[in-house]
Amino acid sequence: MSKQSLLGKVAVVTGSSRGIGRGIAVGLGEKGATVYITGRSTGTGPLTIDTTADLVNNAGGIGIPIETDLGDDSQIEELFNEIRKSHGGLDIHVNNAFKIPNPPVWGGKFWEHPVGIWDDQVGIGLRSAYLASVYAVRLMMDKEDSLKLVINISSSGSERYALSASYGIAKMGTDRLTRDFAVEGKEDGLCVVGLWPSQVLTEFILESIEKGDIKLDDENSETPLYTGRVVAALADDSDRHIRNGQVLTTAELAIHYDLTDERGKQPKGKRNPTMYRETI
């Protein structure tokens, strides 16, 4: 896998102004990809799509920030119309966007929560992933040499209780998107893979650890770039279709591809035997 092996390839990462999305954008940039960076935060601040674009450029790729509210169907459509005009097609699409309710909901009872957290997590985390994938895959099918790779970022919350009922439903649905997209896209060369990162040291998680809301899992914690390098390795793998329809941990793929994060570490993560491992 060469340093610039994704040069000329076009990717979209939803929700990439910060956190895991930023790490994925930079990981793709390290291999020379052109990355469309989407989100609502713009400008020169530390957590904006423009700053992520600069990081992608510095890593060796081309970062293109596009302000997009993933709760607005028309803005999602316009994002992909712009990509069609500028590049004519797409190679990699990553569904990462997820809205954590503000203030965050840590456990408690579903009837005690504001009903709006359903729209935050299922609406943004699941519905927008479906809609964005529709437009993304249409662009992939129009590009003769497209990699046709869709990555869905999920979590162990799809299999066991975490945070809230609405969170688990959103993540469970995301894993079903992976399986069912893979079934429907197999004959057309589409490859769809789901990823479960472990505890990722995003800005939100670091703040929550500092507040005492959650505990640091020092052994298994990962940086956002760890997931980014896994996504880039999948895109760079000519045998990636053997993963079609699978939902895997970031850590096990990092070990398979012999990847480390920017700290030089290779966190082992936690595996769940109930995950989808059968290839479509």
119-144 residue pLDDT tens: 888 988 899 999 999 999 999 999 99
As a whole number of Å, the end-to-end CA separation of the chain is 25
pTM of the model: 0.93
Q: Is the separation of the CB atoms in 156 and 196 below 8 Å? A: yes
Paired strand residues for 13: 37, 94
Q: In this structure, which topology does domain 10-257 adopt according to CATH?
A: Rossmann fold (3.40.50)
Which tens digit of pLDDT belongs to each residue from 77-99? 999 999 999 999 999 999 999 87
pLDDT for residue 158: 83
**Which candidate, 26, 20, 16, 94, places its Cα nearest to that of 49?**
16
Catalytic choice (36, 167, 226, 276):
167
Would you state the pLDDT for residue 250?
92
Q: What parts of the chain have a pLDDT lower than 70? A: 1-2, 101-107, 270-275
Q: What is the model's pLDDT at position 139?
A: 98
What pLDDT is recorded for position 120? Answer: 85
Q: Residue 38: beta bridge partners?
A: 66
167 is a catalytic site residue = yes
The pLDDT value recorded for residue 2 is 55
Q: What residues have CB less than 8 Å from 252, skipping those under 6 apart? A: 269, 271
